[in-house]
Amino acid sequence: MVLAQLGGSISRALQQMSNATVIDEKVLNECLNEITRALLQSDVQFKLVRDMQTNIKKIVNLDDLAAGHNKRKIIQQAIFNELCKMLDPGKPSFTPKKGKPSVVMFVGLQGSGKTTTCTKYAYYYQKKGWKPALVCADTFRAGAFDQLKQNATKAKIPFYGSYMESDPMKIAVEGVETFKKENCDLIIVDTSGRHKQEAALFEEMRQVSEATKPDLVIFVMDSSIGQAAFDQAQAFRQSVSVGAVIVTKMDGHAKGGGALSAVAATRSPVIFIGTGEHMDEFEVFDVKPFVSRLLGMGDWSGFMDKIHEVVPMDQQPELLQKLSEGNFTLRIMYEQFQNILKMGPISQVFSMLPGFSAELMPKGREKESQAKIKRYMTMMDSMTNEELDSSNPKLINESRIMRIARGSGRQIKEVMEMFEEYKRLAKIWSKMKGLKIPKKGEMSALSRNMNA
Ligand code: GDP
């Protein structure tokens, strides 16, 4: 995900600023210019970036800062707040209520991932106890109904559509009525998407919206559309009242910054992101953890949620205990590598930590990463228990490195590379030191503490 690069550039800019002995106007400007460049390269609209820069400069008045204030922290916080502001339109999106029928209409250009996302959205709520249903009001694209039907059948979600009827309004109304009678509490209407932003598409969309009176209109946007995001999102908003955005294909090579622009254009929040073609490759989008992750601060709340969600109950205490001790030994690294190779749930957990999955196992390069991990494990097989259980990197001196290389049939350079990786991961792991084991529902408090 190219957003990871944006995060990397921003944290590097902040780090460089932190390394400066004195933070003056020049240092601040350099840091802001770096961040501006990174945002523009990630396809965030120029005006937004410029406004952000102006706002930060307004907030951070170096002359006014009383002596003794931690200027770096103030600047970092200002950048964090501005990025959050860009992504948070200030009004929450409508959320469906269990047991009360809600109609949610999906709009977007053809190919944006609309139909796939409808099912992902339905599936997400179904898992949480809702009774969703899908209506295919896309009569323009041949095969749209079949696609929806196939997805819906796989997820065991009731669906409605027609091969014969060409009036999308009629199908939408009939579908909504049918499912209301069946006591479905989340009725999702998929509409047509065309290649071009034809007037007919917008008119049809407006009519379907008028006929079905949706509680929420979701604009689905492909994250790879880049700078076009702002105009496209605005065009949709002018025809129907968009209440939320879902950004798809965040797993690909998209720059992702378009998401920020779409929020500005629709003044609606991003509620989910699509991270793959499969039904469950779909994540709730939360602004603060997202920006934390972007700034290399780690998504602690997401991390804890994931632990509760995917790590078997009996393994949770042990993992959390190890985390709270903050001591990352080579043995822990070995165990985590075993988990990653098994593609067990823990690998999903670690993708929440900055530096773990994104750098160790970038998406799309899984094969190379697996080979690398296996190589590291072979080298660790040649280590003694003392070496594996120590969290003191100084223990591994030159002669030990030579012995490990000989024993595993690898080059000294490779063993050193493995230790560098270990040190990098140990640094991340150490941030979890003192971690209190939270119960469910206490995540946001934890997130605040960790980010403070
Ligand atoms: P529609 O024309 O807007 O309804 O788009 P579709 O739902 O047919 O999706 C177009 C293509 O994008 C399909 O091949 C989907 O599998 C793919 N797709 C949708 N969402 C995602 C996503 O989040 N990640 C990836 N990698 N592919 C996606």
Question: Residue 433's pLDDT band (boundaries 50, 70, 90)?
Answer: low
CATH number of the domain residue 31 falls in? 1.20.120.140
Specify the residue with its C-alpha closest to ligand 1, atom 26. 276
Pocket of ligand 1 (CB under 6 A): 108, 110-116, 193, 248-249, 251-252, 274-277
One domain, residues 223 and 243: yes
Max avg pLDDT among 108-112, 209-213, 448-452: 209-213
For the CA of 144, the nearest atom of ligand 1: 4
DSSP letter at 439?
A: P
For the CA of 110, the nearest atom of ligand 1: 2
What distance in Å separates the CA atoms of residue 378 and residue 146, rounded to the nearest whole number?
Answer: 49
Render pLDDT for 152-172 as a digit per residue (tens, 0 to 9).
Answer: 999 999 999 988 888 999 999
Residue 443 lies in a domain: no
One domain, residues 273 and 304: no
One domain, residues 23 and 51: yes
Residue 445 lies in a domain: no
One domain, residues 276 and 324: no
Give the model's pLDDT for residue 143: 86
One domain, residues 341 and 376: yes
Max avg pLDDT among 291-300, 313-322, 367-376, 410-419: 410-419
Mean pLDDT of 336-343: 70
Residue 435 lies in a domain: no
One domain, residues 285 and 340: no
**How many A from CA of 111 to the centre of ligand 1?**
6
For the CA of 138, the nearest atom of ligand 1: 4
**How many A from CA of 143 to the centre of ligand 1?**
14
> Could you tell me the pTM of the whole model?
0.68
What distance in Å separates the CA atoms of residue 122 and residue 105, rounded to the nearest whole number?
Answer: 12
Of 445 and 16, the structure prediction assigns the larger pLDDT to 16
Whether the predicted pLDDT of 121 surpasses 80: yes
CB neighbour list of residue 40: distance below 8 Å, 6 or more residues apart: 46, 49
**Domain span holding position 334:** 300-430
**How many A from CA of 403 to the centre of ligand 1?**
50
For the CA of 248, the nearest atom of ligand 1: 23
Best residue among 107, 116, 194, 201 to mutate for probing ligand 1's pocket (most ligand atoms within 8 Å of CB) is 116
Question: Residue 339's pLDDT band (boundaries 50, 70, 90)?
Answer: low
One domain, residues 11 and 149: no
User: In the structure, how many helices (H) and strands (E) does the chain have?
Assistant: 21, 8
Domain boundary (240, 262, 294) is at: 294
For the CA of 276, the nearest atom of ligand 1: 24
One domain, residues 251 and 346: no
Give the model's pLDDT for residue 256: 67
DSSP letter at 271?
A: E
Of 140 and 363, the structure prediction assigns the larger pLDDT to 140
Mean pLDDT of 405-433: 85
CATH number of the domain residue 383 falls in? 1.10.260.30
One domain, residues 138 and 267: yes
Specify the residue with its C-alpha closest to ligand 1, atom 5. 113
Lowest mean pLDDT among 139-153, 293-307, 328-342: 293-307
Length of the chain as a residue count? 452
**How many A from CA of 408 to the centre of ligand 1?**
44
Q: Which residues of 191-215 are buried (b: 16+ CB within 10 A; e: fewer)?
A: bbbeeeeeeebbebbeebbebbebb
Of 409 and 329, the structure prediction assigns the larger pLDDT to 409
Domain boundary (294, 320, 335) is at: 294
Best residue among 277, 280, 282, 283 to mutate for probing ligand 1's pocket (most ligand atoms within 8 Å of CB) is 277
Whether the predicted pLDDT of 336 surpasses 80: no
Residue 441 lies in a domain: no
Whether the predicted pLDDT of 61 surpasses 80: no
**How many A from CA of 55 to the centre of ligand 1?**
37
Give the model's pLDDT for residue 77: 77
Residue 442 lies in a domain: no
Number of domains in the chain: 3
What distance in Å separates the CA atoms of residue 354 and residue 294, rounded to the nearest whole number?
Answer: 9
One domain, residues 132 and 72: no
Specify the residue with its C-alpha closest to ligand 1, atom 16. 277
Q: Which percentage of the chain shows pLDDT scores above 90?
A: 32
DSSP string computed for 35-47: HHHHHHHTT--HH
Residue 447 lies in a domain: no
Of 50 and 361, the structure prediction assigns the larger pLDDT to 50
Residue 94 lies in a domain: no
Whether the predicted pLDDT of 357 surpasses 70: no
Give the model's pLDDT for residue 60: 80
**How many A from CA of 114 to the centre of ligand 1?**
7
CATH number of the domain residue 286 falls in? 3.40.50.300
One domain, residues 278 and 320: no
Whether the predicted pLDDT of 352 surpasses 80: no
Give the model's pLDDT for residue 443: 36
In 203-312, where do the E strands start and end? 216-222, 244-248, 270-274, 282-284
One domain, residues 304 and 279: no
Give the model's pLDDT for residue 157: 96
Residue 17 lies in a domain: yes
Here the ipTM equals 0.98
Inter-residue contact 263 to 89 (CB < 8 Å):
yes
Render pLDDT for 225-275 as a digit per residue (tens, 0 to 9).
Answer: 877 888 888 889 988 999 999 999 887 766 667 777 888 788 899 999 898
Sheet holding 159-160, edge to edge: 159-160, 132-137, 186-191, 102-107, 216-222, 244-248, 270-274, 282-284
For the CA of 141, the nearest atom of ligand 1: 2
Whether the predicted pLDDT of 297 surpasses 80: no
